[in-house]
A and B are shown apart, each in its own frame.
Chain A
């Protein structure tokens, strides 16, 4: 390969020559992002056009009607709203509650702290399917089945979020709050006015991860909602598929509507998302 041309520039190992590496990266990007291009193109084609062989790349005629069909088949607009409420409620609650608990675990000495923290950690190990039957019964007992709060109430609390934020607080120097403490500030003021502003990168990481999980979650909302007007988009998509089994243009339009907000949000905040993922990888 063209190793010789660049070898003099810098001594650093490469597994592939620049051309080979570049080709590999392009291939990787095509395989990983290409399906989305095909999704978008298909969503504008007619049902007869997608059955052509060889397939057309660009739609011969742009069919915007597939998007209207999605909203006709299901209350997709309402589902969209449900997804937003669900994601925001879970995220707001977790940012506040997890950071509060994490602050206490990181900075306040109290009897039984280690034991309680170990109990929190044990929750981390328990997979969702072990919890959903009793959780379902609790929600049923609260008369919340088939309501939007059913989607987010259990997800407002998180052992993972507490753990992540605790690791973050532990990495912050204690001098600032020590000075405030000696000035007579109470723990709440120290937490709220000193620690939270310092913890912004950690909060960002937790917030982004929680938004993402809440938006994409399927098993829990599938269990607690049977009424289409209370479903989030993930369950909505599954039922759209039940109705339009092989009408792929409509299914692609629905998939695009359901994922576009997250993809746009990701592209805008991608630096933070990637840092957040890397952070949770090193601390989680």
Chain B
């Protein structure tokens, strides 16, 4: 046993390819011969599950997007028909515009989360874990419940928000059935439920910044604001980039909040309906699955394009140490 220990690390670093000590060539060869089989044992179940439930369905959806579905489930090849129809469908265009707004408004949560994280990160701050727990509650709460809670707060007649506004003399509206306010109100709830998540990620990022930077900057006479923009933001930029990318991807797939907050009979539905909501409606209510598949594919392309663009732009503002 004792003589094997020193040999272990060079062997590992060279990936088993170091000419082995003459003493035990047989055993080492046997181990590597077994490797592919062991890999199969370990990876097989997940690989099979992913192939059946994820990879194959993705390809099948691509195929379905080129088909038209009859009322009773049969489908026929129809080439690019779904895509051309999509391009001229005002309902689809509105859903994409709405989804775009959810993504843009959703980004407003990041500065809020950053400010909260910075405030909690201060030295000698008391009650950090209590604040963090309270602020994280929306993240762990199921969106269906969140939507119901906020419907009540937004209620036009008896909602708490309108009551509080009336105290300061503002006349509220029926927030989520008013087509002019509904989208912003749903987006606000989206922000509310992700602030805690972003805050926790950003707090971890802030903790990793060495206090020496601030001490040096303070000695050079930089004030808090200057320090924030010259030290905190650049050094935190990888975390900021991460939460931005996730926030946009998440917003582009908004469904739960709209489904539960905005009922099917809500007059503001056209102004709040997202792409995924429209997808659900086409695929599982109207059984127009070919069209829905095409819609899902266009959304995927949009997600890839937007994420790709963000990765491209990150070179301009994200600094990796």
Residues from chain A with a CB closer than 8 A to the CB of B300 are: 126-127, 130
CB <8 Å contact, B43 and A101 = yes
- Identify B141's interface contact among A259, A278, A282, CB under 8 A: A259
Nearest B residue to A3, CB-CB: B224
Q: Kindly provide the distance from the CB of A211 to the nearest chain B CB, expressed in whole angstroms.
A: 10
Query: How long is the Cα–Cα vector from A158 to B55 in the complex, in angstroms?
Result: 12
Residues from chain B with a CB closer than 8 A to the CB of A256 are: 145
Please report whether the interface of chain B is mostly helix, strand, loop or mixed according to DSSP. Answer: helix
CB <8 Å contact, A29 and B131 = yes
| Residue B115 at the chain A interface, CB threshold 8 Å | yes
- Which residues of chain A from 1 to 51 have any CB-CB distance to chain B below 8 Å in the complex? 9-16, 18, 21, 24-25, 28-29, 31-33, 35-36, 38-39, 42, 50-51
Interface size class of B (residues with CB under 8 A): 35 or more
| Residue A151 at the chain B interface, CB threshold 8 Å | no
Residues from chain A with a CB closer than 8 A to the CB of B61 are: 130-131, 133-134
- Which residues of chain A from 165 to 182 have any CB-CB distance to chain B below 8 Å in the complex? 174-175, 178-179, 181-182
CB <8 Å contact, A109 and B195 = no
Please report whether the interface of chain A is mostly helix, strand, loop or mixed according to DSSP. Answer: helix
| Residue A200 at the chain B interface, CB threshold 8 Å | no
Nearest B residue to A234, CB-CB: B144
CB <8 Å contact, B39 and A113 = yes
Known contacts being A15-B228, A35-B149, A174-B12, is A130 close to B46, with CB within 8 Å? Answer: no
Query: How long is the Cα–Cα vector from A134 to B16 in the complex, in angstroms?
Result: 43
| Residue B280 at the chain A interface, CB threshold 8 Å | yes
Using an 8 Å CB-CB cutoff, how does the interface string of B12-31 with A read, 1 for contact, 0 for none?
Answer: 10011000000000010001
Using an 8 Å CB-CB cutoff, how does the interface string of B287-318 with A read, 1 for contact, 0 for none?
Answer: 00100110011011001100000000000000
| Residue A59 at the chain B interface, CB threshold 8 Å | no
CB <8 Å contact, B225 and A35 = no
CB <8 Å contact, B137 and A32 = yes
CB <8 Å contact, A131 and B53 = yes
Residues from chain B with a CB closer than 8 A to the CB of A178 are: 8-9, 11-12
- Identify B303's interface contact among A13, A120, A127, CB under 8 A: A127
CB <8 Å contact, A10 and B123 = yes
CB <8 Å contact, A101 and B140 = no
Using an 8 Å CB-CB cutoff, how does the interface string of B34-70 with A read, 1 for contact, 0 for none?
Answer: 1110110111011101101111111011001000000
Q: Which of B81-89, B178-186, B211-219 binds A? A: B211-219
Residues from chain B with a CB closer than 8 A to the CB of A222 are: 259, 280
Chain B interface (Cβ within 8 Å of chain A)?
A: 1, 4-5, 8-9, 11-12, 15-16, 27, 31-32, 34-36, 38-39, 41-43, 45-47, 49-50, 52-58, 60-61, 64, 112, 115-116, 118-120, 122-125, 129, 131-138, 140-145, 148-153, 155, 157-158, 160, 163, 192, 195-197, 200-201, 203-204, 211, 214-215, 217-218, 223-225, 227-228, 239, 242-243, 249, 253, 255-256, 259-260, 263, 276, 279-280, 283-284, 289, 292-293, 296-297, 299-300, 303-304
6 inter-chain pairs at a CB distance below 8 angstroms, sorted by A residue, are A21-B122, A133-B289, A157-B54, A181-B31, A270-B133, A274-B132
Given pairs A32-B135, A259-B141, 8 additional interface contacts (CB within 8 A): A15-B115, A33-B135, A100-B42, A101-B45, A123-B50, A178-B12, A281-B201, A281-B242
